Amino acid sequence: MGYDFSSVRNLVEVAGGRGTLIASILRANLSMEATLFDLPYVVEEARPLIEALGLLNRCHWWEETSLNQSPRGRRLPAEIYHSRLG
């Protein structure tokens, strides 16, 4: 049994990699929007999957050159999910 995301409206996945997890969560939760937060080259690798699945209108991108930096004054109105797979 997985996590119940049904009450989450905005999700931020930190270090989300190629977007497979965030894509599957978005596909299962049609009213949710999400942001993939990762390094620029990783975000670019995730875009084709998100686009192919028709999720570009609900998936946003946040690129930083270091995931250890604070997010430069940006506020996160979201639940935060950090995936550590593999």
* DSSP characters over 25-59: HHHH-TT-EEEEEE-HHHHHHHHHHHHHTT-TTTE
Q: Say whether pLDDT at 62 is over 60.
A: yes
- Rounded CA gap, 10 and 26, in Å? 10
More confident residue, 67 or 17: 17
More confident residue, 38 or 56: 56
- Rounded CA gap, 9 and 19, in Å? 18
Most confidently modeled range among 15-19, 44-48, 77-81: 44-48
More confident residue, 15 or 72: 15
Is-contact 43 68, C-beta < 8 A? Answer: no
Per DSSP, 69 falls in state S
pLDDT reported for residue 69: 55
